[in-house]
Structure 1
């Protein structure tokens, strides 16, 4: 009997049909043909069922799709978008696979009424289901803005199968309802690999900040008169975590900051609110080894965001790579491969790869060889929610609402800066023209502070999968159309990039013109890794230098196929045309019907 019940739940969660082969994601649902459920009899059943939802948690390892990435060699959605390669005819989604997660959640909520047990325990698991439903719809709102809200499983013939989208405002309020129920009913205790009240408050804080700022800066929604309600919720929910959750910023120094992302275990870490546990014994791993020069590298724009150690903005843009990390925010060395960095702390120093820009990502790269056992077999634990993000949510929401004071900064941003020995942010910090250029539409009574909070967020949370959403909600998608760059190269020739005083790589015009390195000792030349601006046929290679024989590493694809970000269209995605042909009540938003 136990095996049958577990098989049944597996079929439900996977979206496999028991007695129906219909294609429509709602009509296909197997549960609609079962008159007497085999499950949902005890709270243990609810625990078992909700355990299946945890695979929906993200594993954030990079900032792909954003201006934190210099270049990449894989198919990336926003890259296709800004090159005009996405249309309503070729865009996927909105099908069975897209909606089956919601179906599984709603099926439990439809059947939970028959469970026998303590109502507090039952409500705890209802809260977990509603947490995951809120997460599901949060992603849908970000992508489509208006989406149909379904709170239960539908049956054949139900007219709601053919409804149009519900307005964003309606769906966002439903997400709030789900999260507020989750906050009120999910228990506070438990391990930090399970959803607790604090994880629910974290998602509520993240959602409320996103929706509040999105409404503030996106006038096309017609919701600018209602943004402050969400930002107020973001302040309140983040404050509750800060004052009641018992969490604290971990450690003292850049090594402790780095260990949040490359450690064997995050168990017991007081900064971590929710984390994903990866274990070789269970063969549950991730792909963090791919972050270092395999598919992409980080951008000059991100590298220049790190302040000098005295708290002033970095402006020495043509500084050689070997000295670039000197006297900089220590978090830079915990994020970007630096001269002297070695894989797993070994003796062989890592050489940068200029074909990707040179700024390789080491954040999340495993710290030990036993945590890196092959393709998609890395086993360092990954944070999902941590206190640092909550502090930044609190600071940003207060700055967007205005006013914000020094005490607010000391309780948020300055806790993060203190960890790595950086000077505190002062309420009277000078307005940085570089930040004004990045975020020209930012609007707050304390603009200088708001922009510095955005810088702090970019630096502290770099590579944690949040940057793209930040650009979208701030309505600065134009940054994605900008061609990103890599390191500065003062001239063709050989360079020490490992910090050992010996040249490691050479950037040359071509294999037939190695004059810049002709005078080097033969043993040095023999160990150089050489990169050429032109291939054997004389054609431009994948990268070039912005000034010809000197300058910033740039990319020929961006030069030859420029990017264009169309506003407001590209802040959203199209519903596939085929889905609209099946249901003419579905409508494209903001120009995707053209």
Structure 2
């Protein structure tokens, strides 16, 4: 690759101090490596273009964790949903088409050796590029396991490299960690704002990947890599601890409003919890699509709602008849984060609006986390102006606690410095390690049968805290895979509990808002209602085929699709996606991941 189009760099030229000089260079349609990569400013301009690889999108974050078991139903196209229903094969799968991202990174790294100037600045931008290479490659490892490692740009004559076989997971992950270690050592600790990757962002990604790999190797015994799991867990501990001790970050805000502010604010630039930020701006026309989280194509799973604790710290699933509580009952005396994640009764999109009425055809548990609460920040589809935290300190604390628990080094003081800081923000009781280990929660133990040992109870509670605190932030599917808990994807999701066919109050004002009926020809369950009430009801019919009730005429909402197209999770095959068939035809040395051969 001898030339790089200005199109690749278009997004990097905004706000760069050398913009005028850069645009005056010849040729005006292409950047040649002979004329570029000469100064640290050139490297800065180039690396700014790589940040598009780290942008959050509704498709992989704000839609409830990548179509994981946090989702009840999704009416759009979902690769994961198709996957667990047997619709993915090497002949039908997508993917394997993002190598251009790697090429753009390697192009800079191959040419940065000719850059002259402040060596610390040069090393900083090389570290940024290696950060992005690590991020690219770990996405590939999570999807495919073994993948070919390319550390340099290839030309059309490099046939041996173009048609090479996959490299083993161990070699690729070692290379990823080397990139991140370089980034953590060389990327500068401070920039003018938190929209740039800093040393702390590099350490966050390092800690995240180290925890993922350590737990993956621990629980996926079929890889025979358990002996190296502890090394990764220890690096997750040390990287997260460095951020905790020296990064100057903190848990911000108080109560439900403090938690909400992280996901629905116009400006998080000065927020001490945000390590890396995706900035939105109405003035600059930089937008996001977070407005679609509320009642567009999906809702959240009742099983997610069940894991939020009571406000006294006891499990909701230990309450007698918890699975028969109605929509207006489940929010009473619960962890405040529940009503900041799932729309509660009485929720309004603006202070002057009537309460928003949920829809049972999606299950009833609508997502509000990330929804812009201020109408001034909502401009329509893909025209929302809230800032989005990409790396936040809460994740670092959870990494630290989990890695210590999994490695057997956790103490109560560690919990107090991590998990209990998150609970304290929303007024929840502290997690007591001894109590959790003395009586592990039976509901969680059934969900995660591979968790054993003296720390079983506290590991389960840390997993609960991750699911609750980080809900809808894009972590859940990866968590299930690294814990070897993919079987949870095969469980049928559930919606709200319906005590009987007929009218239901779902806004909490004591007046019925919706009616669930068997069919349009039988409205007898609402026949006795006054006309003034009946005429205002939104009616849903089981005969339409979208959903059913678990007991026929009562019970939890479930979805017809889960009966007509059952879910399954094949171990260990489904922990990896197949490589598209055409790629293995083009490159005979590529082999399919485990189970897909």
Report the TM-score, using the length of structure 2 for normalisation: 0.92
Identify the residue that residue 29 of structure 1 maps to in structure 2.
none
Please give the alpha-carbon distance, in whole angstroms, between the structure 2 residues aligned to 1:304 and 1:580: 43
Cα distance change on mapping 1:11 and 1:393 into 2, 3 Å: closer
Match of 2:578 among 574, 577, 591: 574
Identify the residue that residue 309 of structure 1 maps to in structure 2.
311
Identify the residue that residue 24 of structure 1 maps to in structure 2.
none
Describe the SS at the equivalent of 1:63. helix
Identify the residue that residue 526 of structure 1 maps to in structure 2.
535
Please give the alpha-carbon distance, in whole angstroms, between the structure 2 residues aligned to 1:592 and 1:345: 53
Please give the alpha-carbon distance, in whole angstroms, between the structure 2 residues aligned to 1:91 and 1:78: 11
Match of 2:425 among 419, 427, 447: 419
Please give the alpha-carbon distance, in whole angstroms, between the structure 2 residues aligned to 1:35 and 1:266: 38
Q: Is residue 109 of structure 1 aligned with residue 109 of structure 2?
A: yes
Describe the SS at the equivalent of 1:64. helix
Please give the alpha-carbon distance, in whole angstroms, between the structure 2 residues aligned to 1:569 and 1:55: 31
Tell me if the contact between 1:94 and 1:575 (Cα under 8 Å) persists in the aligned partners: yes
Correspondence 1:327-342 to 2 at 5 A = 327-342=333-348
Tell me if the contact between 1:13 and 1:104 (Cα under 8 Å) persists in the aligned partners: no
Tell me if the contact between 1:266 and 1:272 (Cα under 8 Å) persists in the aligned partners: yes
Identify the residue that residue 51 of structure 1 maps to in structure 2.
48
Identify the residue that residue 42 of structure 1 maps to in structure 2.
39
The alpha-carbon deviation at position 184 of structure 1 amounts to: 0.4
Please give the alpha-carbon distance, in whole angstroms, between the structure 2 residues aligned to 1:463 and 1:165: 33
Tell me if the contact between 1:345 and 1:367 (Cα under 8 Å) persists in the aligned partners: no
Identify the residue that residue 223 of structure 1 maps to in structure 2.
225
Identify the residue that residue 17 of structure 2 maps to in structure 1.
none
Identify the residue that residue 188 of structure 1 maps to in structure 2.
189
Deviation sequence 1:151-204 (CA, Å, 0-9, x none): 111123222111111100000010000001000001111111100000000000
Identify the residue that residue 378 of structure 1 maps to in structure 2.
384
The alpha-carbon deviation at position 229 of structure 1 amounts to: 0.5
Deviation sequence 1:406-444 (CA, Å, 0-9, x none): 101101100000000000000122311100111011234
Deviation sequence 1:505-551 (CA, Å, 0-9, x none): 1111112211111122211111111111113xxxxx21010001100
Aligned residues: CA RMSD: 1.7
Please give the alpha-carbon distance, in whole angstroms, between the structure 1 residues aligned to 2:478 and 2:259: 23
Identify the residue that residue 518 of structure 2 maps to in structure 1.
509
Deviates more, 1:543-552 or 1:504-513: 504-513
Q: Is residue 400 of structure 1 aligned with residue 397 of structure 2?
A: no
Identify the residue that residue 447 of structure 1 maps to in structure 2.
456
Please give the alpha-carbon distance, in whole angstroms, between the structure 1 residues aligned to 2:412 and 2:44: 44
Identify the residue that residue 152 of structure 1 maps to in structure 2.
152
Describe the SS at the equivalent of 2:543. coil
Please give the alpha-carbon distance, in whole angstroms, between the structure 1 residues aligned to 2:90 and 2:197: 36
Correspondence 1:76-95 to 2 at 5 A = 76-95=78-97
Tell me if the contact between 2:4 and 2:31 (Cα under 8 Å) persists in the aligned partners: no
Q: Is residue 544 of structure 1 aligned with residue 548 of structure 2?
A: yes
The alpha-carbon deviation at position 13 of structure 1 amounts to: 8.6
Deviates more, 1:33-42 or 1:477-486: 33-42
The alpha-carbon deviation at position 36 of structure 1 amounts to: 5.1
Please give the alpha-carbon distance, in whole angstroms, between the structure 1 residues aligned to 2:49 and 2:132: 11
Describe the SS at the equivalent of 1:304. helix
Identify the residue that residue 28 of structure 1 maps to in structure 2.
none
Describe the SS at the equivalent of 2:557. strand
The alpha-carbon deviation at position 34 of structure 1 amounts to: 9.2
Correspondence 1:53-72 to 2 at 5 A = 53-59=50-56, 60-61=61-62, 62-72=64-74
Q: Is residue 482 of structure 1 aligned with residue 491 of structure 2?
A: yes
Please give the alpha-carbon distance, in whole angstroms, between the structure 1 residues aligned to 2:246 and 2:453: 29
Describe the SS at the equivalent of 2:307. coil
Please give the alpha-carbon distance, in whole angstroms, between the structure 2 residues aligned to 1:258 and 1:468: 23
The alpha-carbon deviation at position 11 of structure 1 amounts to: 4.3
Identify the residue that residue 119 of structure 1 maps to in structure 2.
119
Tell me if the contact between 1:341 and 1:350 (Cα under 8 Å) persists in the aligned partners: yes
Please give the alpha-carbon distance, in whole angstroms, between the structure 1 residues aligned to 2:374 and 2:314: 34
The alpha-carbon deviation at position 269 of structure 1 amounts to: 0.5
The alpha-carbon deviation at position 220 of structure 1 amounts to: 2.1
The alpha-carbon deviation at position 288 of structure 1 amounts to: 1.2
Describe the SS at the equivalent of 2:313. coil
Describe the SS at the equivalent of 1:511. coil
Please give the alpha-carbon distance, in whole angstroms, between the structure 1 residues aligned to 2:516 and 2:109: 61
Describe the SS at the equivalent of 1:485. coil
The alpha-carbon deviation at position 261 of structure 1 amounts to: 0.4
The alpha-carbon deviation at position 135 of structure 1 amounts to: 0.3
Identify the residue that residue 178 of structure 2 maps to in structure 1.
177
Q: Give the gaps of 5 or more residues in structure 1.
A: 15-32, 536-540
Q: Is residue 463 of structure 1 aligned with residue 472 of structure 2?
A: yes
Please give the alpha-carbon distance, in whole angstroms, between the structure 2 residues aligned to 1:236 and 1:444: 23
Please give the alpha-carbon distance, in whole angstroms, between the structure 1 residues aligned to 2:95 and 2:531: 57
Q: Give the gaps of 5 or more residues in structure 2.
A: 12-29
Tell me if the contact between 2:6 and 2:31 (Cα under 8 Å) persists in the aligned partners: no
Identify the residue that residue 205 of structure 2 maps to in structure 1.
203
Describe the SS at the equivalent of 2:473. coil
Report how many residues are paired: 564
